[in-house]
Chain A
Amino acid sequence: MQEMPLRQAAALLLEYAIRIAPPESREWGQAMRGELSFVEGHWAALAWAFGGARVMAKHALISLLIPGRRGQAILFDGGLFARNVSVRKALQVTAAGLTLATLLFLAAPPFRQAVGVSLAAWNELLHITGRNGQSRLEALAIQAEGRRDPEGLVFAAARLTDARESSRLVTEAVQLNPDFDWAYAVVAVRHPEIPEVLEWVPQLARPDPQNALLHIISAESFDIAEGTKPSRRPYWEPREANPAWQSAMAAAFASPKFDDYLDRLRALDADVLRRYGFTDPYSVLAGEEEGLPSYAFWDCSTFAKSILQSGKDLEARGDRSGAVEKYWSVARFGQVIDSQARTDSERLLGLRLQAGAYNELRDFSTKGGNANEAALFAYLAATFGQPMESLRHGGTSIQPGATGHGVSGRNSESGSLAKPGERWVFGAYVSGRNALVLQVSSLIMVILCALLLVAASVLIAGIRQGGSSGAARNHPWATVLALISAVGLLLSSATIYLTYRPYWYIFQRAILDGDRSQARDLREFLSAIQFPPGFDLGRSPRFDVPLCFWAGVTLLAVAGLVIILLRHFPSRPEANRLHNHPRVP
């Protein structure tokens, strides 16, 4: 019979499988090896060998995990540890193989992104790096400048925390392409302290004069520029004294439109991310979440309060129509913001203004004896107040059973808000739980990496001193530690990969394909993963039954593995005694 390479490979495979099989199974391996010569066809022979090798491998694994089962003797010399392959050497090879398998995960983009995201919380806690990836954004800006790419410049300018650099980049972008003048507003919202903002606003107002955002930016700039004030006043201080601020806010409240330009910013994200290979979800999404900054929130709230107060004053003086007009002006501006809001802060502001205005209108109608109107306004105030409370107290926080579907922009089940066209895929609770799983897995991975390094160092040092067998004999714990660490590393890496994979796809769809219908889960996930377990602001640590259960299962599994491995460390006389199985011819 002609020995072709395929048949030779089949024979080698079976012979190797027989070597790793436990002695009581080797006879059967030899039987399959014997038949191999008579199998017709080289491919059929290879398939025959694969089947046989599978059987032998299964028996080897069973004998490794359950030594001496069913009353059989513990055959330390056989199976995986046969002949010149010592137990420890086999374990070390297994550990190395598992570590290599873990390294293969690095080839998967979801895994790389998952590791970066999962370590964000620990980075923040340990002050290793900022989670917004400013250095990567700066590198992107340098590349964009080199390519004279206005889109790249706007992308970086909108996300950099350095106001001067942001201003410089956006100016350069608009010089390259004047169509990007809207980016001035995006940068001005984030950095109202930039002196050029007051020059930018008139430029922006020419094509978009009815946008309330421009007046809000102006108001803040006037506020900052007022007098020779060295620093901004606290937001809670009243601004009524500044006429320029009041005038700008009055113009904002009279505006029929609110546009934060986030749509345009998102539109250029996909191109920029593809062009520069930028895949940091924190940087991308963080830049988009700042539709309306906190100062604008408080400026609008303060101004709304003053309008409502002036309405009450008019009411006290008997000017009922003037009072109603004041109340309605606040409600109308709240509707403008709410209907065109793209971020939670914008939505919260819109709801807050409306709830406040409808409360005043309810009181006004009650005093006027119009019970029906009062009931309607009470209903409206409650309708806009309920989701507002949810948002203010962590509307995007982890809520058990939050599986909402956006209903007219509001989540009717959880009370939190959905952005237009958004829906839950997993829900806030599952995303929060996944974030916790990823955090814990990443921490375990880091710890196991350290343990593996320690074990590997000990083994390598031992080998250099006195050969591999001597080293292993002197430090059996290092072999066990290496194997346990490698197993844990592989499991934690697989957990990280599988847990984050759906979010990676959501990120790809949201950023590269522009389909943000599922971005809510990703935002919730990234929001939850920012804080290490127990450090989540406003959330007290609680006894988590499922987490404790799985932690217990993991500990038991690790303990079981340690016991199995320790039982497999043989004494050589016994191994020699059981070296050969009597039935193998």
Chain B
Amino acid sequence: MKTPRISPETLRVLESFLERPTGWHYGYELSRETKLKSGTLYPILMRLEKHKLLEARWVATQDGVPPRHTYRLTPDGLELARTQLDEARSRWMIQQPALSRG
């Protein structure tokens, strides 16, 4: 399967995942870390999941609160994320403040 289009926003999401590569991430948590709005973040997550770069699962919550969707990168996703971020850094393509921390 072809890899999804890697936009600067996608790179921000991938970088956020790489901060805890094996951990599960909530959507709202990713939104806060990447400063992306829901309308931008979720299409990226949907694309990553469609390309098998991301896995998702539902987590039960307290009574009366809807279950939460949580995500983590698959091994393929991790490899792609590292490759893309390395390439981006080496080419000085990334100028996002979040990345400057790394």
Which residues of A are interface residues toward B (Cβ below 8 A)? 1, 25, 27-28, 30-39, 47-52, 54-55, 585
**Contact assessment for B69 and A51 in the assembled complex, using a CB-CB cutoff below 8 Å:** no
Residues of A within 8 A of B69 (CB): 27-28, 30-31, 34-35
Inter-chain contact B66/A33, CB cutoff 8 Å:
yes
Which of B39, B40, B56, B68 touches A35 (beta carbons < 8 Å)? B68
Q: Would you list the 5 A-B pairs with minimal beta carbon distance, nearest first?
A: A51-B39, A31-B69, A51-B38, A35-B28, A34-B66
Is B39 a contact of A52 with CB atoms below 8 Å? yes
Contact of A37 among B31, B37, B58, B66 (CB under 8 A): B66
Asked if B98 is at the interface of the complex by the 8 Å CB criterion, the answer is no
B40 touches A31 (CB 8 A): no
Smallest Cβ distance from B12 to chain A, in angstroms? 16
> A28-B46, A30-B69, A33-B66 are known contacts. Are A39 and B39 too (CB-CB below 8 A)?
no
What chain B residues lie within 8 Å of A52 (beta carbons)? Answer: 38-39, 42
Complex Cα gap A337–B19 (Å): 86
**Is there contact, CB below 8 Å, between A54 and B39?**
yes
Is the CB–CB distance between A55 and B43 below 8 Å?
yes
Identify the closest chain A residue to B58 (Cβ).
A585
Q: Do residues A38 and B26 form an inter-chain contact, with CB atoms below 8 A?
A: yes
Looking across the interface, which residue of chain B has its beta carbon closest to that of A39? B28
Determine the chain B residues whose CB is within 8 A of the CB of A1 once the complex forms: 65
Q: Render B63-77 as a binary contact track against A, CB cut-off 8 A, 1 for contact.
A: 001111100000000
Contact indicator B68/A55 (Cβ below 8 Å): no
Distance between Cα atoms of A38 and B27 in the complex (Å): 10
With A33-B66, A34-B68, A34-B69 in contact, is A28–B28 under 8 Å at CB? no
B42, B56, B58 interface centre (most CB from chain A within 10 Å): B42
| A34 to B61 CA separation, bound complex (whole angstroms) | 9
Taking a contact as CB atoms closer than 8 A, the residue among A34, A36, A50 that contacts B67 in the complex is: A34
Chain B residues with CB under 8 A of A49: 38
Q: From B42, B43, B61, B65, give the contact of A31 (CB < 8 A).
A: B42
30 contacts between A and B (CB under 8 A): A1-B65, A28-B42, A30-B67, A31-B42, A31-B56, A32-B27, A32-B42, A33-B66, A34-B66, A34-B68, A35-B26, A35-B28, A36-B66, A37-B66, A38-B28, A39-B28, A48-B28, A48-B31, A48-B37, A51-B37, A51-B38, A51-B39, A51-B40, A51-B41, A51-B42, A52-B42, A54-B39, A55-B38, A55-B43, A585-B58
Q: A31-B42, A34-B68, A35-B38 are in contact. List 18 more A-B contacts (CB 8 A).
A: A30-B66, A31-B56, A32-B42, A33-B66, A34-B67, A34-B69, A35-B26, A35-B31, A37-B61, A37-B66, A38-B26, A38-B68, A39-B28, A50-B39, A51-B40, A51-B42, A52-B42, A585-B58
Contact residues in A for B39 (Cβ distance below 8 Å): 50-52, 54-55
Closest B residue by C-beta to A47: B37
Chain B residue at minimal CB-CB distance from A53: B39
Min CB–CB distance B62 → chain A (angstroms): 10
Contacts of A35 in B (CB 8 A): 26-28, 31, 38, 68-69
Give the CA-CA distance A39 to B29 in the complex, in Å: 9
Q: Which residues of A contact B43 (CB under 8 A)?
A: 55
Residues of B within 8 A of A54 (CB): 39
Contacts of B40 in A (CB 8 A): 51
